[in-house]
Amino acid sequence: MMGAIAIGVAAGIVAGLLGVGGGVLFVPGLVLFLGLDQHQAEATSLLAIVPVALLGTYRQDRYGNVQRGDALLLGLMSVAGAAGGVALANALSGAFLRDAFAALIMLVAAQLVRRTLATGDQAKKA
């Protein structure tokens, strides 16, 4: 129980601070600290993200940061994508899902580093 609490608090802080999905921390935390398999961790993360997303969106909207039209479109398309993704995930092995998740996280990290370095180069030129 304490592990789940710690994972939830950490994911909530990171999601609210950086705008990343809590699943970035939920899935590895559930696998590493609570012993869930990859399918269980991903499914549990999907449900756990709902209250985080609702509260985070509410708070960001109060600051005027939410583009409602874009958010609605993203949300509607994500529902369709999630249904297909769940069906596909259940057809794949846990090992493949784990490796695909790790590759996605590495891709996102590489993109962030690339953009940060490009921003730093532009700042030096100014």
Over the stretch 68-126, which tens digit does the pLDDT of each residue have?
Answer: 999 999 889 988 888 998 999 999 999 999 999 999 889 988 998 998 898 876 667 66
Confidence of residue 66 (pLDDT cuts 50, 70, 90): very high
With beta carbons less than 8 A apart as the criterion, state whether 43 and 94 touch.
Answer: no
State whether the Cα torsion 41-52-61-119 is positive or negative. Answer: negative
Report the 3 state secondary structure along 7-47: HHHHHHHHHHHHCCCCHHHHHHHHHHHHCCCHHHHHHHHHH
Nearest to 30 by CA among 57, 54, 6, 61: 6
Percent of the chain that is helix, strand, coil (3-state, to 5): 85, 0, 15
Percent of the chain with pLDDT over 90: 44
- The pLDDT of residue 24 is above 70: yes
